[in-house]
Amino acid sequence: MQAITRTEFDFPGQTGKYTGKVRDVYSIKNDLLVMVVSDRISAFDVVLPKGIPFKGQVLNQIAAKFLDDTSDIVPNWKIASPDPMVTVGHKCTPLPVEMIVRGYLTGSSWRTYKSGERSICGIPIPDGMKEHQKFEKPLVTPTTKAELGAHDEDISKEEIISKGLVSKSDYEKIEEYSLALFERGSQIAAERGLILVDTKYEFGKIGDQIYLIDEIHTPDSSRYFYADTYQELFDKGENQRQLSKEFVREWLMDNGFQGKPGQVVPEMTDEIVNSISERYIELYEKITGNKFEKAVYDNDIYERIETNIRNMLARL
């Protein structure tokens, strides 16, 4: 099945287009954004050579649901989702940091810890912790927002403020929002038998108002463990059953790729592509409690997406 890896639309009032790692973002009259979530997949800040069918739909529909479910905590950019792969919303000026919230010592934080480091973004981590161990309270560990092809870099709260990347008052607000969003996401995950392990949030502004932007609580931005086996596996020191993109990173690392210069992405066979697609669909159904309804992939899919967007823009 052909994945949707690139779009080239031209909408009324279009003033620009940005192609990110996964999303094609169209600016309309400088106050609206049309975000088309493609089937591209990235890992280690590298866009992999093959797309994953239905991945864009999964990401868009999970993000749309969680934006709706958290709009009482912080205003967000979403206006509507006129197509399974599209969200239309307010254009904000992005704040140049990503807010990573970690509830557990896992993934990149564990790899850093295992190397001997005992702090993340200036936050001290105690000796004696084990992989996948829960922190006493969630940590906010920001990163800089890298350009396409570059790596995000850890940065402390103090550095962000001293460098003037975000004002002290704005930073304190987005930190507060991030922890509240993580708590809400954790509650929703628990109702589904999952643990929200870590995630990232991005924020922007219109005037003086802060908005939550981009995606939220998707498998691209978050990691989930299965709650029913967490303690048993932790006690045994075994790998957790998880729903996230980490399995893609692990497959790449097992095949000698971590995004370093000179390394080559391993061959993405149809079997690998289909297994990744199935994992994304599994997460959608597990976290939302809804059966995934696959959008039709045919010769008219681009026409469908464009028509749905044009109809929505005509109403705004």
Structure tokens at 103: 């509830």
The CATH number covering residue 43 comes to 3.30.200.20
> What pLDDT does 58 receive?
96
Q: Which amino acid is at 252?
A: L
Give the residue numbers spanning the domain of 117: 94-244
Residue 75, in any domain of the structure: yes
Q: Are residues 289 and 237 in the same domain?
A: no
Q: Are residues 76 and 102 in the same domain?
A: no
> What pLDDT does 214 receive?
92
Residue 232, in any domain of the structure: yes
Which of 244, 269, 302 is the endpoint of a domain?
Answer: 244
CB 43 within 8 A of CB 259: yes
The angle subtended at Cα 152 by Cα 149 and Cα 155, nearest 5°, is: 160
Which of 223, 244, 265 is the endpoint of a domain?
Answer: 244
189: enclosing H helix or E strand: helix 168-191
The angle subtended at Cα 91 by Cα 85 and Cα 97, nearest 5°, is: 90
* Angle, helix 246-254 to helix 270-288, in steps of 10 degrees: 160
Which of 222, 244, 266 is the endpoint of a domain?
Answer: 244
> What pLDDT does 260 receive?
92
Q: Are residues 165 and 301 in the same domain?
A: no
Q: Hey, what long-range contacts does 304-311 have (CB within 8 A, 24 or more apart)?
A: 304/83, 305/7, 305/9, 305/36, 305/83, 305/85, 305/86, 306/9, 308/82, 308/83, 308/86, 309/9, 309/11, 309/34, 309/36, 309/82, 309/83, 309/86, 309/88, 310/11, 310/12, 311/82
Q: Are residues 98 and 240 in the same domain?
A: yes
Tokens 């480091």 belong to 117
Q: Are residues 59 and 114 in the same domain?
A: no
> What pLDDT does 151 receive?
60
Backbone phi, psi, residue 114, to 5°: -65, -25
CB 41 within 8 A of CB 55: yes
Q: Are residues 222 and 132 in the same domain?
A: yes
CB 140 within 8 A of CB 158: no
Residue 255, in any domain of the structure: no
> What pLDDT does 150 receive?
52
Q: pTM higher than 0.85, yes or no?
A: yes
Three-state secondary structure call for residue 108: helix
Q: Are residues 27 and 134 in the same domain?
A: no
Residue 260, in any domain of the structure: no
Residue 9 burial class via C-beta count within 10 angstroms: exposed 0-12, middle 13-18, buried 19 and up: middle
Residue 261, in any domain of the structure: no
The CATH number covering residue 126 comes to 3.30.470.20
Q: Are residues 232 and 304 in the same domain?
A: no
Rounded Cα–Cα distance for residues 64 and 23 (Å): 14
Q: Are residues 117 and 25 in the same domain?
A: no
Domain count within the chain:
2
Rounded Cα–Cα distance for residues 48 and 56 (Å): 14
Averages of pLDDT over each 10 residues, the chain, 316 residues: 90 95 94 97 92 96 96 98 98 96 95 94 95 97 73 88 96 98 97 96 97 93 95 96 84 94 94 92 91 89 95 96
Residue 9, in any domain of the structure: no
